[in-house]
Amino acid sequence: MTNNPMGFLDIPRKAAGYRSRDERLHDWREVERQLPEDQVRRQAERCMDCGIPFCHGCGCPLANHIPEIHALAQHGRWREALDLQLSTSNFPEFTGRVCPAPCEGSCVLGLVGDPVTIRNIELAVIERAFAEGWMKPRPPAARLATRVAVIGSGPAGLAAADSLNRIGHHVTVYENAPRPGGILRYGIPEFKLEKAVIDRRVQLMRDEGVLFECSVQVGDDLSTKFLFSRFDAIVLTGGAREPRNLTVPGRELSGIHFAMDYLRGQNMRLDGDPVPPRYDISAADKRVVVIGGGDTGSDCLGTALRQGAKSVLQIEILPEPPATRAPSNPWPTWPLIRRDSSSHQEGGSRRWAVTTIHAFGCEGAVSGLRCAGVEWSPGDGGRPQMRIQPDSEFDVEAELVLLAMGFTGPRKNKLLQELGVSFDSRGTVIRDAENMTSVPGVFAAGDLARGASLVVRAIADGRATAESVHHWLANTAMKR
């Protein structure tokens, strides 16, 4: 089916790229462009149609049929490409925007050159489908008698709800925030994922029969007794929202906030919703330090620049990653290399191998951090050990400090306590091989059970959990 079987030799990689820095820093619209059709088709020609497609089996948690989709895209057979894409992925419009593309890290072409632009092609297929009007509501042909409650509307919850609804179950999604989307809406900045994209998908799910109940705190507004009386199964998808804290002197000073509180407030502001004081945080005219070098940290960087920060410094306790794969990081594993996001290209600065000693301030408000350089060396059992470099301490001035150091697990709440689910040593909810918790009929999906991970893994886990719920309900009905 290939137009050009040697395309990977003749055609250079061309990613979609970003809008100009000067333009995008003055608005909140998505920074990444989308490739025009002719370039999408040409980039799809670079796919080698490998005998063993590692992008599909090793790289993609959803096991998308990547070479086959590329072959269809080459020929402009977009409708068929869409059907194949949707057979494994509920929300390509989300992963096509925010996924770090582990599939590209496993692309065979990446062994000798630049991998195929898999994520850009994925987004092109689904966006063409919306533009052409192909994404119409498709409610199930028949409804089952069973009812399922999904608690949480992040990527895992949406995927579980969508999959269960398509099978024919009656699905109600409960969300404690004013709008659905979970981390997609409140944790990812508008400039990476415009919330109209979420609204478009949620409306489609509503038209297909999924019920959304927002601003509902399950466990307080609704009891577990109500849930068990009304639903045949419950799926917990509350995420891993407990942020890792900074345990140093001065942490109590005002002006030190968790990154997700900061990002949530800005997203609520853009949605036109009232912003509670906890989330009403601005970087305008402030010197900002972001502690944490991952994606959340870079999201804070881009947000602070748009809010008009005087300066932004992002510090990371780990050493700077190499520019290319280390010998201990062979293909097709995820490449542990330095990555510069669109936010890093917009401004600010970064420092690696830096730890925070304490925060200092004036009249109860933070005014800076005392930091130090660190060295890493192999410890007992190969586990890296950190030590502070002698005479390496330095001060950084800051009126706003954002903690983006990852998450320790799900937030304990009344719902989890009343249900009586079991937790492991990491604080995540324990589940069996069929994704059921220690409580019969109660399932868990996504970061709540896996620990903090990628959106694409949460979607895959939501799909798998939906299948487990369906099988359990079918078996339960047979035993009655």
One domain for residues 112 and 157: no
Is 379's pLDDT higher than 90? no
| H or E element, residue 401 | strand 400-403
Cα torsion angle, 61, 67, 93, 235, sign: negative
Read off the pLDDT band of 5 (50, 70, 90).
Answer: confident
One domain for residues 35 and 123: yes
Q: Taking Cα atoms as reference points, which of 113, 193, 211 lies closest to residue 157?
A: 211
Residue 385 in tokens? 């050990």
d(CA 306, CA 321): 27
Domain contains 475:
yes
> Among 100, 132, 164, which residue terminates a domain?
132
d(CA 17, CA 87): 28
> Among 383, 405, 427, which residue terminates a domain?
405
One domain for residues 352 and 327: yes
Is 251's pLDDT higher than 60? yes
Degrees, nearest 5: CA angle 407-410-411: 100
Domain contains 142:
no
Residue 263 in tokens? 């990002």
Structural domain boundaries, residue 286? 245-405
pLDDT of res. 6: 81
Residue 44 in tokens? 């799809």
pLDDT of res. 478: 65
Cα 179 to chain center, whole Å?
A: 17
Residue 235 in tokens? 């799926």
Residue 56 is given by DSSP the state I
Residue 151 is given by DSSP the state E
Give the CATH number, domain containing residue 109.
1.10.1060.10
d(CA 263, CA 254): 17
pLDDT of res. 480: 57
pLDDT of res. 384: 87
One domain for residues 271 and 389: yes
One domain for residues 89 and 105: yes
One domain for residues 361 and 427: no
Residue 116: phi, psi to the nearest 5? -65, 145
d(CA 317, CA 301): 17
Tell me if residue 480 falls in helix, strand or coil: coil
Domain contains 139:
no
Looking at the DSSP assignment, which residues form a beta bridge with residue 172? Answer: 149, 211
One domain for residues 160 and 32: no
Is 162's pLDDT higher than 70? yes
The better pLDDT of the pair 432, 380 is held by 432
d(CA 301, CA 315): 11
pLDDT of res. 479: 65
Is 206's pLDDT higher than 90? yes
Residues 6+ apart with CB under 8 A from 167: 140, 144, 466, 470
Residue 58 is given by DSSP the state I
What is the mean predicted confidence (pLDDT) over 409-437? 92
d(CA 47, CA 66): 9
d(CA 74, CA 55): 18
Is 41's pLDDT higher than 60? yes
One domain for residues 390 and 434: no
Read off the pLDDT band of 3 (50, 70, 90).
Answer: low
d(CA 244, CA 405): 6
What is the mean predicted confidence (pLDDT) over 68-95? 97
Domain contains 137:
no
Q: What is the dihedral angle through the alpha carbons of 223, 228, 230, 231, rounded to the nearest 10 degrees?
A: 120
Domain contains 334:
yes
Q: Please give the model's pTM, rounded to 2 decimal places.
A: 0.96
Query: With contact defined as beta carbons under 8 Å apart, do 93 and 23 qualify?
Result: no
pLDDT of res. 399: 98
Give the number of domains in the chain.
Answer: 3
Q: What is the dihedral angle through the alpha carbons of 32, 37, 41, 44, rounded to the nearest 10 degrees?
A: 20
By CB atoms closer than 10 A (0-12, 13-18, 19+), residue 355 is middle
Mean pLDDT taken over the chain: 95
Domain contains 138:
no
Give the CATH number, domain containing residue 386.
3.50.50.60
pLDDT of res. 103: 97
Domain contains 314:
yes
Query: With contact defined as beta carbons under 8 Å apart, do 405 and 232 qualify?
Result: no
Tell me if residue 375 falls in helix, strand or coil: strand
Domain contains 345:
yes
Per-residue pLDDT tens for 313-326? Answer: 999 999 999 999 99
One domain for residues 180 and 307: no
C-alpha separations of 260 from 240, 263, 295 in Å: 12, 5, 12
Residues written for the chain: 480
One domain for residues 308 and 392: yes
One domain for residues 256 and 373: yes
Is 178's pLDDT higher than 60? yes
One domain for residues 462 and 392: no
> Among 132, 166, 196, which residue terminates a domain?
132
Q: What is the dihedral angle through the alpha carbons of 13, 16, 21, 27, rounded to the nearest 10 degrees?
A: -170
